[in-house]
Structure formats: C-alpha cells, structure tokens
Amino acid sequence: MDFSIFGVQSTTLAITAALTGVLLVVGALVIAWLIGPRSYTEKKGEPFECGIPTRGDSMAQYHVGYYLFAILFLMFDVETVFLFPWAFRSGLCLEERSVEMEVKIKSMKHEDFKDNEYIDNLVEQLRAGGTNIIVGKLDQLMNWGVSNSLWPLCFGTSCCAIEFMCLGAARYDMARYGFEVARNSPRQADYIMCQGTINYRMAPALKRLYEQMAEPKYVIACGSCTVSGGPFKNSYCVVKGVDEIIPVDVYLPGCPPRPEAFFYALMQLQRKIKVQKYFGGVNRKEKLEGLKYVKEETK
C-alpha cells in the first residue's frame, strides 16, 4: 500500500471517502427522511415557479449551437474542479483555513418583548407535556439552524417591497440575521414575506407559490394590505388579508412598515421557530394532511 495521491495514503483516503461519500450522504438522507416535514400537492410538481400554471410541453428543440456552448461551459467548469486541489498543493492558496469566527446571533430577549402571548402559550403547552431530554436537545439544534438561516422569497407586489429592498441594503443589512439570501424560486425559500396588496388576479398565483415551497415554510403578512386589505378594503378586487388564502405566521402592520418593524416581525418568526417540534410526530401529521389534501384535489 505505497500508493498515494497528493501525499495521502490510500487507506486514509478510502476511509475518508467512505465516511464522507457514503456515511454522511446516506445519513443525511435518512435523517431528512425521518424528521423532515413534508407536504404534497399537485402544484408542487409543476416545473415552473412564476405563479402561472405551466402550459404546453417544456421539452423543446434548441439550436445545435447551444449544445456546443453548454459543452464548452461544462469543460471550463470541470477544469475549476481540478484547479482547487492543484492550487492548494502548489501553495498558491497560502491561507488554507480562514479564522473561525464565532458569531452569536441574539434573538429578542423575552424580557424586552413580553407582548407575544401566542408564543408564550405555546411554550407553556410544550412544557406541560414534558420533553425528552435527547429529543428536546435535538429539536433545539434543528430550530437553531432553521431560525438563523431564514431565506425569504422575493414576493413584493407594491410599496412594502421598496422598504424590503432597504432592508437588504447596507444601512439595515438583514444579512446580520441570516435573512439576506432573497430567493427568486419558492423551492429554495423558507418563508414568503408577502409585501403588498393581493388582488383577485394574483390570489391563485400566490397560492401556487406557497404550495411550491418546501417544508418547513412560513408566511409573514407584511403591511396593512396583506393583513386585512388595508386602505383597499372596500375595493371590488382586493383580497381582504392573505390569511384568506394561505396560513399566516406573523402579521406586520404598517403602510409601509419601517425597516425596524420588519426586523421585529422577522424576530417574532424566529421566536416562533425556536419552539417548534420536529421530533415526535408533528411532521408525520402534516404529511398525512397533505395526502388528504391531494386526494380531495383529485376528486
């Protein structure tokens, strides 16, 4: 066994490969299958995410030139894969490990915001039932992860969207809390921040987008229009609050709310996530509900 790659013994390599390639991947898949909440609807299976039902065949003929382009692209892509190990070996990348920084993101302290009865009640309910220490710790770990990397779906229909953009810009900088990666596809997003009026034409599109999101998913109704219809309540074509269409987790009033209020709402959502239970059947229940929903749809 004197065979080595980049100076590493092949036995070590084999063990590493087995660990990373098999154990971690299979392990992650199994764990996700066991505890990940899921929901199934027909709309979730559609190939496009623009809010409109997909029509026609998405398989279409392209000009042969595009294939050539794709092959060239792939070639350069593959090259970069080999570039990194080579760069490390040859000492081009001198700084191999960046300094590990420990950033503690402080959520809202309970003493500062005692106004959310809903979450307090939820916590009390959970405490009353008692929690297994292992399961409880695992839940905490999950929730810590989920609540600190909430990715929003870019869904701004009107004025509130401009304030949301300010939130993303340098002064308010929502990246500090892990909210920065605004996704354009609902499949990659964790929550919809519904900014702006929803009217009768938009309602089916919003519903579709919500259903296309992966579990666990949350909704923040941002601005008076989405909370209750706001100033447009008396209109002939405005939905009087998005909770008529999709379940809402946090209501954020304002016309439009200030960026500080956005943070408040996002932290409320974090608090709500922090008391979530993944272990112990919650996800299974959701799954069954989802299946029931599909059956009703197909009927």
How far does the chain reach from its first CA to its final CA, in angstroms?
A: 64
Nearer to another protein, 142 or 246 (CB): 246
The answer to the question of residue 75 lying near another protein (CB under 8 A) is: no
Nearer to another protein, 156 or 290 (CB): 156
The answer to the question of residue 232 lying near another protein (CB under 8 A) is: yes
> Closest by alpha carbon to 210, among 183, 245, 241, 179?
245
- Contact criterion met (CB below 8 Å) for 209 and 192: yes
Which residue shows structure tokens 């039932």?
Answer: 129
**Span of 96-104, 111-119, 164-172, 271-279 interacting with another protein by CB under 8 A:** 164-172
Which residues ranging from 248 to 287 are in contact with another protein (CB under 8 A)? 255-256, 258
The answer to the question of residue 228 lying near another protein (CB under 8 A) is: no
Encoded tokens for 128: 């009353």
Which residues ranging from 181 to 200 are in contact with another protein (CB under 8 A)? 184, 186, 196-197, 199-200
Pairing label, strands 8-9, 250-252: unpaired
Say which amino acid occupies 271.
Answer: R
- The number of CA neighbours under 13 Å toward the Cβ of 92 is 8
In this structure, the number of other CB atoms found within 10 A of the CB of residue 287 comes to 16
Among 80, 98, 234, 298, binds another protein (CB under 8 A): 234
CA distance 137 to 279: 10
**Span of 78-86, 115-123, 152-160, 273-281 interacting with another protein by CB under 8 A:** 152-160
Which residue shows structure tokens 């956005």?
Answer: 262
Nearer to another protein, 186 or 278 (CB): 186
The answer to the question of residue 154 lying near another protein (CB under 8 A) is: yes
Residues that bind another protein (CB under 8 A): 48-53, 56, 60, 63, 154-159, 161-163, 165-166, 169-171, 184, 186, 196-197, 199-205, 207-209, 231-232, 234-239, 244-245, 255-256, 258
